[in-house]
Amino acid sequence: MNITQAEITFVVELAKEARRRAYAPYSNYFVGAALRTTTGKFFTGVNIENAAYPSTICAERTAIFSAVAQGEREFDLIAVVTANGGFPCGGCRQVMAEFNLDMTVVIADEDGKIHQTMTVRELLPGAFTPSFLQKNH
């Protein structure tokens, strides 16, 4: 599926807006994500930190988990916005790989400048996917 520049700009703007709602009192590294489903719905997420650090969740997973909780399972585009165009962590890359290795990932900074556009497959080469869990008969 070809994604237009207008579609990318729109999802980056959604992620920028979501980033304003991030809860990051410890790292002060605010992240927003916006996810588009193949049915055209949008879900946003923010990083939510916790004093018990392992309980923290990233923006990308918040968006994906929100979508899944609403019955969505197929995604084609996600934008991640940070102050400096930081990339998703390994855990988020793995969660994205669970749903679509060919999903487009747009990395942008707080000004909306796009730093990188790639697929999950490019972001996580050699991803562990559900196919590895299939039983051989």
Q: Locate 126 and state its tokens.
A: 């050699």
Selected catalytic residue, list 7, 17, 60, 98 = 60
SS3 of residue 108 by DSSP? strand
Active site residue 98: no
Nearest Cα neighbor of 16 from 119, 111, 116, 117 is 111
b/e sequence 32-58, b meaning 16+ C-beta within 10 Å: bbbbbbeeeebbbbbbbbeeeeeeebb
SS3 of residue 33 by DSSP? strand
Dihedral pair phi/psi, residue 95, rounded to 5°: -65, -40
Please identify every residue annotated as catalytic.
60
